[in-house]
Amino acid sequence: MKRLINNPNFNKWGIDHSHQADPFVVSLAKVKNLKVVSYENPRKEKNSIPAACQLLNVEHLSFIDFLREESFQTFIDN
């Protein structure tokens, strides 16, 4: 977590209310070898969850990619 908080791109994490949980989510995923799922666009912001995942080599999935990976299907009766 120090690696994220001390990185200039993530220096407001833990202070700014909009990112309070983010360092904990990404750090826990790193420690437990989990994937992180979010709606954030990896190319949009330098201080996004996908960017933090990339920094720590944690796999990040969009919600749609998560559904595809889990072979999620809906069934609608006609």
Average pLDDT for residues 2-10, to the nearest whole number? Answer: 71
pTM: 0.77
pLDDT reported for residue 77: 60
Alpha carbon separation from 51 to 35, 70, 71 (Å, rounded):
14, 23, 26
User: Residue 53 is encoded by which pair of tokens?
Assistant: 């995942």
Average pLDDT for residues 30-55, to the nearest whole number? Answer: 87
The CB density around residue 29, as the number of other CB atoms within 10 Å, is 20
Band (pLDDT 50/70/90 cuts) for residue 47 is confident
| CB-based contact 25:19 (threshold 8 Å) | no
